[in-house]
Amino acid sequence: MSYQVDEKGYYGDFGGAYIPEMLYPNVEELRRQYLDIMKEESFQKEFKELLRDYVGRPTPLYYAERFSKKYGTKVYLKREDLCHTGAHKINNTVGQILMAKRLGKNRIIAETGAGQHGVATATVCALMGIECIVYMGEIDIDRQAPNVARMKMLGATVIPAKSGSRTLKDATNEAIRDWINNPVDTHYIIGSVVGPHPYPDMVARFQAVISEEIKVQLKEKENRENPDYVVACVGGGSNAAGAYFHYLDTPEVGIIAVEAAGKGIDSGESAATSALGKEGIIHGSKTLLMQSEDGQITEPYSISAGLDYPGVGPMHANLFRSGRGEFISITDDAAMKAGLQLAKLEGIIPAIESSHALAIFEDRKFKEDDIVVVNLSGRGDKDLSTYIDYFQL
């Protein structure tokens, strides 16, 4: 059994394309073509060159010596925080903008929560000279003013999502509505491994460069391609999908997914989808999602704006249900402390999303000779004001 997507777009019970007929032609066009386009030599050449020269890949695999010593195991950090624009998100937007060009689309739409994916999309649109519209929840626009300004500097139009709870899920709804209204010239760059098939698989493949590099780099450093564990935070789950991708069907590599418990799983303010979610449909995909008994989608909470998505990518839902992945949830408080600790031990200020992955070492013990790779998905610059408020810096 494989943990990759099957021919019908499912990961076990999860995935598929639950979309209104209005989206069918666009999604079907993408489904038919994405693998062939990605295999083209010219596509691969352009994608790899941009990742190298523009994004700054490969990102280092860094042995965190003092952190390792503290927890009595060997911890490597995959430094996605060093990517251009400050997070792994740009791996996917570079891939998708090249895809959009080959599909003949000249208008790009995207959704964003904290603004990282919006910035990464606005960046590649500026690079290619393509019109860019980013939907962002009205509440998030207020919370993430610097990223709104960055998108504007990059030439994007930021449209506030005023419907529903006015956060990420509603920004996604608005982007989908835009796509319904503009079915011919527009490509929708989804920022995570969510949405209707083929998006979860396509985004995972663009992010797969993360685990592809880990294999080569670990071989150089440890003379083995496979770590004992690969750890990543999961909101929608794109950085995790990239970090796991080439290890999914290698059972000796343990997969650890870290979700945001917010103020605690039972507090009513949480984003731990695997613990709190039930099977359902969100944004065109069958997956686990947080919802009321009546099937209304509920608003999650996390201190980290990148993890408060009420669903989770179908790949991860399957990793959870099948038992292939170990799911751990981390509270706001534990994540914030882990972020501060990494700054002091290693001189690296992580994004609060990534801090969740770093926080597991307090309770989850590893053997001394285990090799644990943590995907450091983003840097903490965008979170400075949250760190300042939290620790009264």
Residues that bind other proteins (CB under 8 A): 16-22, 24-25, 163-164, 169-170, 173, 176-177, 180-184, 278-284, 291, 293-298
CB of 115 to other proteins, least distance (A): 21
CB atoms inside a 10 Å sphere around CB 356: 36
Given the residues 74, 78, 89, 169, the one annotated as active site: 89
How many Cα neighbours within 13 Å face the side chain of 294?
Answer: 2
Nearer to other proteins, 168 or 348 (CB): 168
Nearer to other proteins, 31 or 246 (CB): 31
Catalytic-residue membership of 40: no
CB of 255 to other proteins, least distance (A): 28
CA distance 154 to 131: 11
Question: What's the longest Cα–Cα distance across the chain?
Answer: 56
- Among 359, 309, 307, smallest CA distance to 335 is for 359
CB of 270 to other proteins, least distance (A): 18
Catalytic-residue membership of 382: no
CA distance 20 to 8: 17
Q: Could you identify the residue written with the tokens 């950090």?
A: 77
Given the residues 74, 78, 111, 169, the one annotated as active site: 111
Catalytic-residue membership of 377: yes
- Among 100, 145, 141, 95, smallest CA distance to 120 is for 95
Nearer to other proteins, 126 or 180 (CB): 180
Structure tokens given for 48: 């790899």
CB of 287 to other proteins, least distance (A): 11
- Among 164, 141, 153, 46, smallest CA distance to 99 is for 46
Structure tokens given for 288: 């686990």
Contacts of residue 112, defined as CB under 8 A and 6 or more positions apart, other chains included, come to 118, 119, 121, 134, 135, 136, 140, 147, 168, 171, 191
Which residues does residue 161 pair with via DSSP β-bridges, in sequence order?
A: 137
Nearer to other proteins, 168 or 360 (CB): 168
Q: What is the DSSP string of 108-153?
A: EEEEESSSHHHHHHHHHHHHHT-EEEEEEEHHHHHHTHHHHHHHHH
Nearer to other proteins, 165 or 250 (CB): 165
Nearer to other proteins, 176 or 210 (CB): 176
Q: Which residues are tagged catalytic? A: 89, 111, 377
